[in-house]
Amino acid sequence: MEVEREPCEEPPPTMMEEEEAEAIPVAKEPPRIHRLDQSVVNRIAAGEVIQRPVSAVKELVENSLDAHSTSINVVVKDGGLKLIQVSDDGHGIRYEDLPILCERHTTSKLSEFEDLQSIKSMGFRGEALASMTYVGHVTVTTITAGQLHGYRVSYRDGVMEHEPKACAAVKGTQIMIENLFYNMTARRKTLQNSADDYPKIVDLLSRFAIHHINVNFSCRKHGAARADVHTVATSSRLDAIRSVFGVSVARNLMKIEAADDDVSSSVFEMDGFISNSNYIAKKTTMVLFINDRLVECTALKRAIEIVYAATLPKASKPFIYMSIVLPSEHVDVNIHPTKREVSLLNQEAIIEKIQSAFESKLRNSNEERTFQEQTMEPSSSGPKDTRKDSDCSPKLSGSRSQKVPVHKIVRTDSQDPAGRLHAYLQVKPQSHLGKESDLTVVRSSVRQRRNPKETADLTSIQELVSEIEGNSHSGLQDIIKYCTYIGMADDVFALLQHNTHLYLVNVVNLSKELMYQQVLCRFAHFNAIQISNPVPLKELIMLALKEEDLDQQCDENDDLKEKIAEIDWENEKSCFQGISSALANFFALHPPTLPNPSGDNFQFYKKRQSSRNPQDEGNSSNSLVDDVVIEEQIDHELLAEAENAWAQREWSIQHVLFPAVRLFFKPPTSMATDGTFVQVASLEKLYKIFERC
């Protein structure tokens, strides 16, 4: 029996089979290449040349400079989107050139490609004005020398909208761009939503103004009565920088120059102004002109920042104005659509030489720095001004808008002794130790004093003086001469800054050695004291030593007192040396006998008194120990005496000791190793450590 079978249906395709089928490429014809419409080409090119309003201003200002203008005025509305107007007093545009003025690749700057090798003008492509007409409405008003009237004409898409019309005009050319990017919706919205371009335009004009110092520049917003940039022609570039960037920048600049005429490596001349170690800003300002062309050079900027990194704090950046002049054939100006960058022949060698010049200049300038003195309430340091903090309006280094916190001010002026560490601390007012004139008198007397031209006519004194001079440490001598007094670190050590190093100095040892040297150098130059009868020096010194001893009943140190009081009267040299040492120890700035009132020592000036609880006065028989109240009272008289003594000592250290040390002191070699001078910090090493954090 045959069974009839139903025909089998084919199974559905699997997923893998479907993917393989889809992976098989379907043959398509390649897209056809066609020529773009000229208007599309022009608008694409225009968007590349005129990227934002500041780009248009740059092109127009450079055209004005090429026209030998001596005055350039810029007016801007809505960040340049509504209106950009640039007026100059240059040579103007010929009437017959107006029809092709805004066509692409029309220029008066060059005729052949080889002319680029010796080009000196800012513009050369003939694209800027044409690009502006494709993205905005351009109106040109111009007059040339000898004409009775000027001409005004409007342009759109590179061609005139009408014939030039006669009009009244002043010398030069005025170009007005309205509704910039009106036909580029995406870009216009981007610029409207972003920050206003006006600050960029102000910065651009500021950079031109400090380089082209023979040209008057002004820039203002439309409708504003006052210009945000206003400079007049000057013969001093530093004055131009001061006028544009402010006094706080100009006073912290130093001139720099470098040059090389080695044809095999590099040929260039560079001059400019760079910030010193006192300049403080959070952003690097670098104004670079190469062959009078405002450009940027990332490699050069980075090389200079590396040099500054070892000198300035990590958060601070330099101000740099630099003009480099090279042979025209060594510069390729045609590498960027907006001419913002150029290519230099032997660029690496030039950058290396400029970097070396910066490094040398900064290393030499780092030997002296200035700091801003803060006027505070009078403190225990001695006499000073009594003005309130609110009256103090310090001027800080850096850009006009930068304000540096007090704790970031680096105190480094070796010539200004008025700064001190406690000036940054808030302390309660204290009575003056003297008038302001006292400080002036003391400083004047110290500065006017000079060592006697000749020492005493004694062989022993001359030998001792010769030993001092022969044993002098030159390194410590340099530190002492050019140091800055910062303040007292504790009762014995003072903080000094020399260059970028911080030192602790033992003022007792320092003052003792200074007095010793002064006694020897002025030996026989002191006024004589007439005494009727010989004075028993040894007995007087013993009495003085015992008077200072708190425990007068203890005789354990009598042997030591005998040695201190004993002087070898038989040997002349030893005798004079002993006398000088004793006088030096007497006049040295030892800490006062009373403890320093600051810190934990304040407890010394508190009196403890016990008193009975008033409620228990009538019940004395039942009073307990717990009813006794311990009261602490401050001995104000003793405290005032201590504060006065310590303040007088610190005042003398700052205003008497260190000025005298700078003039007369010859530090012995032993002070470099006996702990009198101890280096505690080096800014260069600290910055490297902080940068790792």
Residue 643, both tokens: 């504060």
State the pLDDT at residue 165.
92
Tens-digit pLDDT profile for residues 91-106: 899 998 898 888 877 7
Cα angle at 489 between 486 and 491, to 5 degrees? Answer: 125
Total-model pTM? 0.51
322 closest CA partner among 356, 287, 351? 287
In terms of Cα–Cα distance, which of 109, 107, 106, 104 is closest to 120? 109
What 3-state class would DSSP assign to 147? coil
Residue 177 pLDDT > 60 = yes
pLDDT in tens, 104-152: 777 765 556 655 555 556 655 567 788 888 889 999 999 998 888 999 9
- For the segment 586-627, what is each residue's pLDDT rounded down to a tens digit? 888 888 888 888 767 777 777 655 555 555 555 544 544 455
Please tell me the least confidently modeled range out of 79-88, 450-459, 487-496: 450-459
The pair of three-digit structure tokens given for residue 354, joined into one six-digit string: 């400029």
User: For residues 598 and 601, what is the distance between their CA atoms, to the nearest angstrom?
Assistant: 6
* Beta-strand runs (E) in 296-364: 319-325, 331-332, 343-344
- What is the tens place of the pLDDT at every residue in 500-548? 888 899 999 988 998 888 888 877 666 666 666 777 777 777 777 666 5
Question: Strand locations in 242-352, DSSP E?
Answer: 253-262, 266-275, 285-290, 293-295, 319-325, 331-332, 343-344
The Cα–Cα gap between 194 and 191 comes to 5
CA 310 to chain centre: 13
Q: Is the pLDDT of residue 86 over 90?
A: yes
Q: According to the model, what pLDDT value does residue 405 have? A: 47
The whole-number pLDDT of residue 394 equals 39
**At residue 71, does pLDDT exceed 90?**
yes
**Are 560 and 549 contacting, i.e. CB atoms less than 8 angstroms apart?**
no
Phi, psi dihedrals of residue 297, rounded to the nearest 5° = -140, 100
Mean pLDDT computed over every residue of the chain: 76
- The pLDDT tens digits for 546-594 are 665 555 555 555 555 555 556 666 777 888 888 888 888 888 888 888 8
184's CB contacts (< 8 A; 6+ apart) are 43, 47, 135
More confident call, 432 vs 290: 290
Phi, psi of 152 (to 5 degrees): -125, 135
As a whole number, mean pLDDT of residues 224-230 equals 90
Closest CA to 104 of 48, 31, 53: 48
Three-state DSSP at 58 gives helix
* pLDDT greater at residue 565 or residue 412: 565
pLDDT of residue 524: 67
